[in-house]
């Protein structure tokens, strides 16, 4: 099968449009259509149904999709392995991180990497840790530096770099700010401001409360920790935030026997060959951990 035809097929399947697929892989729309037509002749089946202005995979197209992805990912892996033999550290490095880690953990390593390997084009993408892990698992990202999943499963391979303890915080005029011996039950009387449902951090926070977790009143939710910090600081509820971002605008309240801790680190695909640039980035991040 023609590799270029598979690339065109995958672009159309993922964008849902011949025109957007053409933009993605820098071809004209007629060229995309021709490659799809040739591929349909090779497989002996129609791959897309054109309904109005929309495009949908046929049953044959859906069957081809996973195989096409696997072939193209395998080809990329082989190319990276061959390129690595030269020892050169160049090309593009696609790296994802969360906003919090990008702001508070990665500036030093990124600066060192850029100064040491200026010939590498660093494509840094900010996204939620959960989406980054999904992208690594699909092969769309080479590596991610994010909040590690509480229970990582294949094909993900994770490496902890930083411990990230979280504290319960409130505004200075919150009723809990004036108390010294705070029991878990007292938190249930006030609304919480937490990361969104389905996020690793929210699950880590709720798990720390054990059987109390389902009784917590979640008044507001956002995945941006800096926004959580602001909302807690103006008195809209209590939250749990990394110690690295807590300042004098917040009051830390100690809850008996409640320790909350995230792990931050590197996520890669267990079967993917890392580029020389990817390996160099990981070395620099590890050196930061050891410093």
Residues spanned by CATH 1.10.10.10 within the chain? 3-84
Peptide bond before 155: cis, by omega within 30 degrees of 0? Answer: yes
Which residue from 233, 154, 226, 238 is spatially nearest to 194, judged by alpha carbons?
238
- CATH number attached to the domain at 164-262: 3.40.190.290
Residues spanned by CATH 3.40.190.10 within the chain? 91-162+264-290
Identify the pLDDT of residue 230: 97
Identify the pLDDT of residue 273: 87
Report, at the CATH architecture level, how domain 3-84 is classified: Orthogonal Bundle (1.10)
Strand partners, 41: none
Phi/psi class of residue 139: alpha, beta or left (left: φ > 0; alpha: ψ in -120 to 50)? left
Q: Profile the chain (291 residues) by mean pLDDT over runs of 10 residues.
A: 88 91 91 93 92 86 90 81 78 93 95 94 95 93 96 94 96 94 92 96 95 95 96 97 96 88 96 92 89 61
Question: pTM of this prediction?
Answer: 0.77
Q: How far apart are CA 124 and CA 96, in angstroms?
A: 6
Identify the pLDDT of residue 223: 94
CA distance readout (Å), 47 to 39, 57, 146, 254: 9, 6, 37, 60
- CATH number attached to the domain at 91-162+264-290: 3.40.190.10
Please report the DSSP string for 175-188 in residue order.
GGGG-SSB-HHHHT
Identify the pLDDT of residue 290: 66
Residues spanned by CATH 3.40.190.290 within the chain? 164-262
């Amino acid at each position: 099968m023609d590799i270029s035809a598979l690339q065109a097929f995958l672009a159309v399947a993922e964008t849902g449009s011949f025109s957007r697929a053409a933009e993605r892989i820098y071809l004209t729309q007629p060229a995309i259509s021709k490659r799809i037509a040739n591929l349909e002749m090779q497989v002996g089946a129609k791959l897309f149904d054109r309904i109005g202005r929309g495009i949908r995979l046929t049953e044959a197209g859906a069957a081809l999709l996973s195989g096409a992805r696997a072939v193209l990912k395998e080809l990329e892996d082989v190319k990276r392995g061959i390129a690595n033999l030269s020892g050169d550290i160049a090309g593009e490095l696609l790296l994802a991180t969360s906003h919090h880690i990008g702001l508070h953990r990665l500036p030093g390593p990124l600066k060192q990497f850029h100064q040491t390997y200026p010939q590498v084009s660093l494509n840094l993408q900010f996204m939620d840790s959960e989406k980054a892990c999904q992208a690594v698992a699909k092969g769309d990202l080479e590596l991610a530096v994010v909040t590690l999943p509480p229970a990582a499963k294949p094909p993900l391979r994770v490496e902890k770099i930083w411990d990230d303890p979280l504290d319960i915080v409130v505004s200075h005029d919150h009723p809990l700010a004036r108390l010294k011996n705070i029991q878990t039950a007292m938190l249930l009387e006030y609304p919480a401001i937490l990361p969104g449902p389905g996020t690793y951090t929210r699950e880590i926070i709720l798990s720390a409360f054990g059987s109390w977790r389902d009784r917590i009143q979640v008044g507001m939710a956002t995945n941006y920790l800096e926004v959580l910090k602001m909302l807690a600081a103006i008195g809209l509820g209590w939250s749990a935030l990394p110690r690295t971002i807590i300042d004098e605008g917040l009051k830390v309240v100690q809850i008996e026997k409640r320790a909350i801790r995230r792990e931050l680190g590197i996520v890669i695909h267990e079967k993917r060959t890392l580029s020389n640039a990817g390996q160099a980035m990981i070395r620099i991040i590890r050196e930061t951990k050891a410093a």
